[in-house]
Structure 1
Amino acid sequence: MFYTEFLRGVHDRLRPATYLEVGVRDGRSLALSRARSVGVDPAFAIDVELDGDLALLRTTSDEYFARPEPLAPTAGRPYDLAFLDGLHLFEVVLRDFLHAEALSTPWSAVILDDVLPRNAAEAQRTPVGKAWTGDVWKLLPVLAEHRPGLTVVPVDTRPTGLLLVLGLDPGDTTLADAYSSIVEQHVMVREVPAEILARDAAVEPERVLAAPVWDVLRRLRERGATPDEGAAELADALARSFGRG
């Protein structure tokens, strides 16, 4: 399954009211949204029709997240869904994730692109050809080590995989607090683990889209459940969906 087809499926199932996209490029993935959408990209060049409640911001993600009121385009409402496909450098994507989580709710979903490179060449920090994932794959071991409470699901989409992150905690500052040490430890790592290249842990996109967790997330959001009220229900849905809570 191509990654945009998977994203379409997520939109259909989650039915987000608010959507953030970092890395708009030509607008193909942004066009899938029917929510109040915010697209962030310093050099977008839209070549598809965009029809909806949309704010396009020609700026970097760092500049956007540093704004005094980054949720102003949604009238203060957190993001129900975020798709992060900006600059393919580990330290930038880590920042994008921790900021996007902070602007989400426990019933939101964050999806990151390019986490499953097809070969070592396209996974380097400097582009060596047309295809370039950069070292986004490093988010997998970092989240496993520093945020084990998250549900992190590599999705086996074409061409270079997605990472679905659920069970978010907008108040958690673990990654922000340890950011400098995490980057220092990981940024110069060059060898891509064999299990990443082989997609050993990746889940078929059809299975992810069929998971019961989407209905639960949507229901908890729509009824305005507090984190305490919905925690057990979400944990059960995550366990039934992916064998983890």
Structure 2
Amino acid sequence: MLTLDPQKLLEQQLAESHRRFPGPDYQKVLRWVHQTLKPSLYIEIGVECGDSLLNTLPTTKSIGIDPSPRCKSRPNVDIYAMTSDDFFAQVEAGTISGVSGYSLAFIDGLHTYDQALRDFINLEKLSSTDSVIMLHDCIPLDEISASNPRASQFYTGDVWKTLLILVRNRPDLKICIIPTWPSGLVLVSGLNSKSEVLNEKFSVLVDQYRPLRFADYSSTTSELPSPTPIKEAAVKQFLQAS
């Protein structure tokens, strides 16, 4: 079996991604969200170089979480060099405070469905009725980029399973799917910090969804909300109605 050169594979995947998602990229959509919500506290899991943090407003207090961040804390931005699990454990222990009732959060960490689900559960516990959680990479491109563990530079992982789990197990949530480049962005509102549904079923759900592969994705899309147009007005409408 021939193995495609990694650089050639990346070029092909990027070309296909641009073909499928020709509109504004997710960074622009993030800016729309920040400008609409004007969050007082923003939490981002998986900051890497800190590019997404540049979309925040000067008045927003931001928290970035990453085990190996390539950016540093600065005024109004605190970077925690640790895993999200460790971060939330310290919040629960009281070592880290001032996180409850955040306005906006973004899950963009390991890109695996189980970790994204655990991050969602932990974030929802700290949410207020007005909080919004965003998930990246919920629209997979192909089998190799949607694999778990990672097998290519262009990588969405299997976070699409997390979205499916939310749709199937939490019909009370309001979910907006934005097909923005390179692999989609999902907004979730209607959070309930008291809900134990996902937490109680976590192990069962992880086992249940582990066998699903990219080939199974197309058969589940009919269960998902219809995509929202990649327009600022449409995104704003969802956020203001939430």
1:33 matched to 2:49? The reply is: no
**Larger relative contact order (CA 8 Å, sep ≥ 6):** 2
Opposite residue 175 of structure 1, the aligned amino acid is L
Opposite residue 42 of structure 2, the aligned amino acid is Y
- Aligned partner (choices 213, 218, 226) of residue 194 of structure 1: 218
Quote the residue 1:45 is aligned against: 70
Aligned residues of 1:21 and 1:83 also touching (Cα < 8 A): yes
Aligned residues of 1:112 and 1:163 also touching (Cα < 8 A): yes
Distance 1:120 1:197, change over 3 A: farther
Following the alignment from structure 1 to structure 2, what is the Cα–Cα distance between the partners of residues 214 and 194? 27
* Aligned pairs (5 A) from 1:1-245: 1-34=24-57, 35-46=60-71, 52-67=75-90, 68-69=93-94, 72=97, 75-190=98-213, 191-194=215-218, 201-206=226-231, 207-211=233-237, 213-215=238-240, 237-238=241-242
Distance 1:119 1:196, change over 3 A: farther
Following the alignment from structure 2 to structure 1, what is the Cα–Cα distance between the partners of residues 178 and 188? 10
TM-score, normalization by structure 1: 0.80
1:209 Cα deviation from its structure 2 partner: 2.2
Two-structure CA RMSD over aligned residues (Å)? 2.2
1:167 Cα deviation from its structure 2 partner: 0.6
Distance 1:197 1:121, change over 3 A: farther
**Larger mean Cα displacement after TM superposition, 103-112 or 197-206:** 197-206
Q: Deviations over 1:111-149 (max 9, x none)?
A: 000000122221111222211111100012211121010
Distance 1:19 1:200, change over 3 A: closer
SS in structure 1 at match of 2:110: coil
Following the alignment from structure 2 to structure 1, what is the Cα–Cα distance between the partners of residues 44 and 67? 12
Opposite residue 210 of structure 1, the aligned amino acid is K
SS in structure 1 at match of 2:145: helix
Following the alignment from structure 1 to structure 2, what is the Cα–Cα distance between the partners of residues 127 and 162? 20
Following the alignment from structure 2 to structure 1, what is the Cα–Cα distance between the partners of residues 225 and 171? 19
Aligned residues of 1:2 and 1:158 also touching (Cα < 8 A): yes
Q: Deviations over 1:81-105 (max 9, x none)?
A: 0011000111100000011111111
1:36 Cα deviation from its structure 2 partner: 0.9
Opposite residue 135 of structure 1, the aligned amino acid is D
Q: Percent identity?
A: 32
Q: Deviations over 1:6-36 (max 9, x none)?
A: 0011000000000000000010001212311
Distance 1:79 1:155, change over 3 A: same
Opposite residue 69 of structure 1, the aligned amino acid is G
Distance 1:98 1:181, change over 3 A: same
Following the alignment from structure 2 to structure 1, what is the Cα–Cα distance between the partners of residues 203 and 178? 28
Aligned residues of 1:85 and 1:112 also touching (Cα < 8 A): yes
Aligned residues of 1:19 and 1:38 also touching (Cα < 8 A): yes
Q: Which runs of 5+ in 1 are unaligned?
A: 216-236, 239-245
Aligned residues of 1:31 and 1:51 also touching (Cα < 8 A): no
Count how many residue pairs are aligned between Structure 1 and Structure 2. 212
Opposite residue 199 of structure 2, the aligned amino acid is A
Distance 1:66 1:185, change over 3 A: same
TM-score, normalization by structure 2: 0.81
